[in-house]
Amino acid sequence: MTDHLRDFARELESQTAQPERLALHIGGLVEPHLDVAHYLAALDALADEAEDRLLPGLAGGDLAHALLHVLGEQMGFQGNLGHYYDPGNSFLHLVIEKRRGLPITLSLLYMAVARRMGIRLEGMGFPAHFMLRYQDNLGNWLLDPFHRAVVRQADAATYLSGVFRQPVQLHSAVAEYAVSNRMLLLRLLNNLRNVYLSQNAFQQALAVLDFMVVVEPDEPELWRDRGLLHIQTGEMLAAESDLRRYFSRRDRLHLFWAEPSVTFPGLPGLSWEGNHSPTNEEREVMAALGHIRATIGRVN
C-alpha cells in the first residue's frame, strides 16, 4: 500500500513540488491504493484536449474567457452546486473523474491543465471563495471556474458581493490574495476537515489533520485541534503528545506541566506572574489535559 502521507511530505519539500501531485496524495485518505501517476497522465490528456480546442493566438480577456468556455462548457468541469458539502468535491482525482468540484479544486485543476499548455494561472484565496488570476501585457483578469465567470481585477469586490448577495469588502490589494502552494493546500484541507467535522466523522477529520501538520508544523492551533480530536477517538496518549506540541509552539510549555486546577482564578495560593497567565484558550486546553490525565490514570 502506498504511504501517501509520507509521499506528500517528500513532495512538499521538493523544489519542483506540484500542487496537483500533492492534492492527489491527499486522495489517499479515501483510496489508499490511488495511482497518482494515472491521474497525472489524465491531466496531461486533458491539457492536450484543451489545447486542441483553444483557438491559437488568444491573449488577455479573450484567453481567460476561452479557458472557461473550453474547460467549463465544452469539457464539463463545473461546480457541484447540488452536493456542495460532499467530501468527494475536495479530492482532485474524483474531480477529474466526475468533473464536479468546489471552487478550490476546480481552480487547482485549471491551474494544472493551463500550466501544461504554457499558461500561468495563480490561485487567489478571497474571503469564502477561491478564484484564479490570469495576467499578461494586456491586463489582469480573475477567473471563477465554479460560476464560469471572468472578472476584471478592479471589479473583484463588486463581483464577490454579487456572488454572496451581500457587501464584500477586500481589505488588501487584490494581488495580496495570491496564495502559495502551502496556503492552497491548507485551505483545501481545512475545507475537507470542516466537512468531516460537520458529519461527526472524527477519525476522518483526524486523518486530514495529519496532512495539515505536515504542511504547517509550526502552527500551534493545528496541534491543538489534532490533540482534541485524539480525545474524541479515545487516543489519550496521542492527545497528550499533541497538546504538548501546542504549548511548545506557543513557547508556553510551562502550562503543559501545570496542574489543571490552576486554570481557575482565585484559588488560594495560586498566582501567575506577567505573561505566564494562561489565556482562555489555553485554560480550555489545560482542562482537556486534566481530562486526558484522569482518563489515563483510570486505565492504568
- The secondary structure of residue 134, as a DSSP letter, is E
Neighbours of 135 (CB within 10 A): 16
What's the pLDDT at 275?
Answer: 59
pLDDT at 136: 95
- Grid cell for residue 118: 504554457
The pLDDT, as a whole number, for residue 286 is: 94
The mean pLDDT value for 110-125 works out to: 97
Per-residue pLDDT tens for 34-92?
Answer: 999 999 999 999 999 999 999 999 999 999 999 999 999 999 999 998 899 999 999 99
pLDDT of residue 150: 97
Here the cell at position 246 is: 501546542
Q: Which string of DSSP letters, residue by residue, matches 216-276?
A: -TT-HHHHHHHHHHHHHTT-HHHHHHHHHHHHHHTT-HHHHHS-GGGGSTT-TT----GGG
Instruction: Reduce the DSSP state of residue 55 to 3 states and report it.
Output: coil
* Domain ranges, ordered by start, for the chain: 4-177, 218-299
Report the pLDDT value the prediction gives residue 261, as an integer from 0 to 100: 53
Confidence of residue 183 (pLDDT cuts 50, 70, 90): very high
Q: Is the pLDDT of residue 269 over 80?
A: no
The share of the chain scoring above pLDDT 90, in percent, equals 87
pLDDT, residue 274, reads 52
CB-side exposure of 72: number of CA atoms within 13 Å?
20
pLDDT at 262: 44
Full DSSP string of 125-157: EETTEEEEEEEETTEEEEEETTTTEEEEGGGHH
Asked whether the predicted pLDDT for residue 30 surpasses 80, the reply is: yes
Which run of H or of E encompasses 65?
A: helix 60-67
Instruction: Please tell us whether the domain made up of 4-177 is placed in CATH 3.40.50.
Output: no
Q: Is pLDDT above 50 for 268?
A: no
Whether 223 shows a pLDDT value over 80: the answer reads yes
Work out the mean pLDDT of the chain and round it to a whole number.
92
Q: Which amino acid is at 171?
A: H
pTM of the model: 0.92
Residue 264 in this model has a pLDDT that exceeds 50: no
pLDDT at 290 over 80: yes
Quick one: average pLDDT of 230-238? 96
Instruction: Please state, in angstroms and rounded to a whole number, the distance separating the CA atoms of residues 185 and 214.
Output: 11
For residues 232-251, average pLDDT: 96
Chain centroid to Cα 74, Å, comes to: 28
Confidence at residue 48, expressed as pLDDT on a 0 to 100 scale: 98
- Asked if pLDDT for residue 107 goes beyond 80, the answer is yes
pLDDT of residue 171: 87
Alpha carbon distance 209, 10 (integer Å): 17
